[in-house]
Structure 1
Amino acid sequence: MPTGAGPLDGYALAMLELLAREAPVEQFEELVRRAAEEGASEAELAGVVAAKNRSLEVRQLFARRQQREAGLSALVDTARDLTHPYNLDSLLAVITRRARLLMGLDMSWVSLPGDDGASCVRAADGHASAITVGFRVPSGGGVGGHAQQRSAPFWTPDYMGDESFVHNEAIDHVVRSEGLRAIMAVPLRHEHSTLGVLYVADRNIRHFLPNEIALMTSLADLAAVAIERTRLLERTRTEVAELTGDVSQAVDSLATARGLHGVHRSLVDLALGSGEPAALVERAAAELGGALLVRDIVSKDLAQTEGFPVFSGRGSTRVDNALIDRVCLDAQAVGGLVRCDDGVGGVLSACPVTGGTESLGTLVWCSARPPSEEQEQLLGMAAQAVAVQLLMQRSTAVAEGQVRDELLHDLLHVSQLPPGQLAARGRRLAVDLREPHVVVVVRPEGGSQSRANAWAASYAHWLSGLKYVDGGHIVLLLPGDDPAGAARAAQRELSAVLGHPVTGGAAGPTDAPDDVRHVYREAQRCLDALTVLDGTGGTASPKELGFLGLLLSEKQDVTRFVGSAIGPVLDYDHQQSTELLRTLESYFASGSSPTRAAELLHVHPNTVSRRLERITDLLGQHWQEPAQALEVQLALRLHRTRHLLADGDGVRPPGQALRASWASDTP
């Protein structure tokens, strides 16, 4: 005891010294025992005990303050630690470790609701085996459920012995397996929602102090903010990654679009500058990396690149032409791109070529594999460029066709222009009217008149002729001297286009512009004669109609008819001074009897036989058949009649008369 002081004051001063040295509790108790041993009175001993109690209270107050300061310092460190960038799982691991160390307990874990709404343990620290990551926490019972219902911390000093809350068998089993006694659950609250529950537990019975509960609440608040921030960052990263992918895709798409735009522009420029589709499809095929074919609406090939396997020939790479026709029809039917196997290991892709709502044809691409989206777009652009070129060609053809139609209209009708000007107009259109031309009149016999007119324009242009539509008839002025052959060729072509037989009449040739209208009327009469004779679907010319052609002819060209029927005989008599013509007349006058003809001619029958053989050589083997024999007799009668009319009184020597009659018949 210190000197110079009373007993009680000395013990009080000693208590203060122990308190200053932060002496252990045992030394305070030792001071009380010493006072009792030194004979302190009961009052003095009671004062010493009171001083001890006050000193211990002050000591506990200092200890709690230090503990609170240490907790706040640890909480500050935890908050600083939670500001680091983590993913969610790493952050939860930091939170559970900090919570266990902060409270000095055996275990901590955190549960968060999953996508299905069930709560699941996402992180744990200090666990043995029962509470592991992935454990599904039952929705009913336990301190966690109670904390979520109250939205406030909830704890128990001895979980298994506490009946103040609802127990859950699954949770109780886990608690027993881990050997836990004291458990605290703190909800992770952010604004007005609960993100999950933070748990701390000890394997001994323990009462949690208010400052510990407050410390866990602060930690839970910090953890909730960090969890929400991490989730937001993860969503932001995901969105940024998606946006980066979208931007990358947009950049690629933009580059692709620019490339396609450049190709499209070059194709259109080529279509506007080139007169034929061959160069256009070659460029498009180079961009696509395959072979291309352009086919018009009537299945006529307009252009194709080298290597397109469509034409006939041997080899395994030839594609069936019927398959191409079918895929073209399918593309026209659906109004868009269609694909099919080509039967030889490749793919056919067909895209319709359209101008507005009008179908102009089909662009067919043959490739080794199905087209990509970019190639499909490029094929459509190539089809547009082909459509531009075809429409330009049509516009040019229409403008030129109108001029050509006007010329033929003037030739077929009475024109105020002299023949020389008509011929000059024809030369400007590459049509030489001074050369022989024939006129063909075709009647389509139904079907599409517009298709027939389009065919006529193309056919006349191809043969360097002219075309004109007169009512329902198509009039063609074509170069040549064979009207029958021209009529048959035109009839065959148009019948194939329309899908049914058409009827045609022809006449000519003529090399005079002012004679075209007469030849046209003669061809029209041949067409009418076919109708009267029930010859619809056939062709005819004056030569094929024989004497009917002479009757139908507007000019009744007797000289031409006589020349076609017996001209070789007249030429032979004129050159050889023979009498084959008289022999023919006598032969028919005697009923085709050589013997009686010999009597009329006063010659030997063998002479008549030899003359008849010569006539056969000149007129052909069939001159005695009924149809040709009728024309020969009519020609003989016309020739004799013209001879008598030209002779006047009919008295002239036989040889002189023959030569005179031939001279009158010869132009």
Structure 2
Amino acid sequence: MRRQGGGRFAQVVGMSASGPPGGRISVDAVLALLDLAAKGLPDEHDAVADLLSAEQLDAESVAQVGQRVRELQGVVARLHRRDRELSALFSCARELAALHDVDKLVSGLVRRAHDLAGTDVTYLSEFDEQTRELRVRSTAGAIASAFQRLRVPPHTGLAGKVVESRAPQWTSHYAHLRDVPHADSIDTAVRAEGLVSILGVPLIAGEHVLGVLFAANRSEHAFSPEEVALLSAFADNVAVVLQTARLLSQARDAADETQRAYAELAQHVEAMERAGQVHEELTAAVLRGGGATDVARTLSDALERPVVIVDEHHAVLASSDGSAAGMIDSSPVRSALAESRRSGRCTPVEPSGDFRAAVAVLAGDMVLGGLLIGDGAVELGAVEQRTIERAAQITALLTLKQDAVRYAEDRVRGELLNDVLSPDVRRHSDLAARLRARRVRPEDLRTVVVAVVAPEHRRAALRALASTSGLAGEVEGVVTLVVPETDPREAAAAVRDRVRAGTGVEEVLAVAARPADALGELAARFAAVRDCSQVLAALGVESAAADADEYAPYTSMFAAEPASAHQFVDRMIGPVLRWDAERGTELLTTLRHFVDCNASPVRAARRMGVHTNTVLQRIDRITSLLGDSWREPEPFFRLSVAVRLEGLRRRFRLDS
């Protein structure tokens, strides 16, 4: 047993068990030698020789034992490195399993490689397949900011050589490296960091180079095969980790994109269902004879936005909240509707008011109005915009249908109104019965009113007057009504205000006549209000509510030629008017009071609150302008008419 144990020890220390007695060593020496071997550290101070010097061994035996111990130290050192490498790889695997942040993972891998390699600086450069550049992504031990932002162009430096060769490359002195192209930016960064010796190993996953892992020292150093192999082995695992991280990131992006696609699909399906429901409800509205209000409310419920429908003059026809009145006089809205008329599509409105989108209601080339969409929760995507456009088409159909019905009704009522106002008694036969058939009581037709508006606004004016009691229509190119009201001025004012509200036009001239006691008197009343309106229009009165009887004398004088009224005024007192306009005087005011006071300067002065001499001086000026004969009876009568006509015109201008 002893011989066998001695033989094994002899094998360990490199001696034969059958050696001479002087070749044996003590147990303490053996234990000390085993401790040296277990540390795996190089024998820098020849500790083996020191231990064996106390033993009775010859020089050859000492050399054999020292060699064997150093071999054991190398084996143990490799085992220690392998243990650190496996530990690092296991740590990488754990971090990969718990991967949440790729940047943090890469930084951790670089720090672990830094600890494993034991160099001054360790860094990882990522390869961009599009630009073929290498960009420093993470560093450990680096201090220069320029180095941490370093970019290496293709085919440049030690990094380019690693990528092209797909194999480890190193240099013990970077400044002396001559077999690769240098770049000033790279050399400057390396000098700023103080790097001298550099080792780079590729990060390869399949056929792709993901980057390069570098280990560098700030002093000259020859990298051993073991160091190259260790960093290469670690780089292989880093490449797996990076590739896996990229695949996981791509998978997450794909999952997110799929989720977004599902969400968009769900929204699209919801929008399509909403659009289908709107279409069904609008179709039902058409079939049951609904109107613009039904369209506005149905569309508003679907879009969760307020909706307003306007006519061709931008007057409100209907709204989703029921407040159908007024005008939409907004430049952004007008511009959007004009663009929609050109494109036929839903057009966004500049966000400066209450509306966000507009679409024109069209029937061929005819503009019937527009739909205005306010702000709300539902986004106006492509489906919603098509829904709004479809609602505009339904609105056009409803409008055309209602216009056709209204046109037929207006035609019948218009013919009836023309017969009522015709001076031809032959057209009055069975008139009362025909009126009752249209649900109009003959006794309600008392006062004739005409409303003078521009031709392009007549259709809108008739629409605004559709709900008026009595009869309404167009007679001799003028909007005409016969209403139950008995006060001419109030009837004219009511018609003027209704047309203004329905058309948005301020220039409305309404003229009414005194009530008729029988149907047969309405023709004469119409002639009176027609002639009066023509005379007032010739005088430039565009907006007023007038009683025709108050202006009967002037109507009688100029009814045959209404345009001559303005010429008459200019001929009689034109010089006075021009004198006042050029100099800011009050000759016309003085002349009006002079006429009203029966040519009495004293009474005129008292009424005006000025001295009599002032009136006399002004009359002298008027005489110099009009001539000496203007105070004679006939010229004075004509001048009085002209003065009153001019006063009439100015009064209406002030009232409007």
TM-score (norm 2): 0.49
Structure ID, larger Rg: 1
